[in-house]
Amino acid sequence: MKLYKIKKSKIDNKGRGLYAAKDIKEGTKIINYTGKIITNKQVDESDKYDNNKPIYLFTLNKRYTLDGDFSWNTAGLINHSCDPNSQYDGKGLKIWITAIKDIKKGEEFTCDYGFGFDKDYKQFPCKCRAKNCCGYIVREESRWRIHKKFAMSKKS
Ligand SMILES: [Zn+2]
């Protein structure tokens, strides 16, 4: 039995998400993240990877990147949350999604997309509604900088 179901997402209201089809224990592998393996050089040189869909690209190592921007990559439907219940795991050239909490049947799977903090972060607003949501899809280590920016703009 599959561990997931595809349904309309509560987070991304234009899109779909993946939901737990049964109760899942922390540490369970949920689904493989599949795609096409391309070279990092291709990423640099092709227009397709011109920063419009960076959320589907995973740098695997110095040479290769996994491009998951394909309709058959079901795991690509998993949405970002600032308080995720799952994470991307990988070994060699493979990537999959693992539960990092116990997840109840019917909950939506979420991962931290882990974007770095850069000038373009405002392109990717976050609607995850987690208590700690910083408003943008930015990886955890970088979020404090945004919180700091909010605090500063409130003061002035
Ligand atoms: Zn958020």
- Report CA(53)–ligand 1 centroid distance (Å): 18
**Long-range contacts for 132-139 (Cβ within 8 Å, ≥24 apart)?**
132/82, 132/83, 133/81, 133/82, 133/83, 134/82, 137/55, 137/80, 137/113, 139/112, 139/113, 139/114, 139/115
Q: Looking at the domain covering 4-114, what would its CATH class be?
A: mainly beta
| Among the listed residues 26, 4, 25, the one whose alpha carbon sits nearest the alpha carbon of residue 108 | 4
- Report CA(79)–ligand 1 centroid distance (Å): 10
In this structure, of 8-17, 26-35, 113-122, the range with the lowest mean pLDDT score is 113-122
User: Which residues place a Cβ less than 5 A from the ion ligand 1?
Assistant: 82, 126, 128, 133
- Residue 131: φ, ψ to 5°: -60, -35
> What pTM was computed for the model?
0.80
pLDDT 10s digits, 23-76 = 999 999 999 999 999 998 988 888 777 655 556 788 888 898 888 888 899 999
pLDDT 10s digits, 82-91 = 899 999 888 8
- Report CA(2)–ligand 1 centroid distance (Å): 27
Which sequence spans correspond to the domains of the chain?
A: 4-114
Q: What percent of the chain has pLDDT over 70?
A: 79
- Report CA(72)–ligand 1 centroid distance (Å): 26
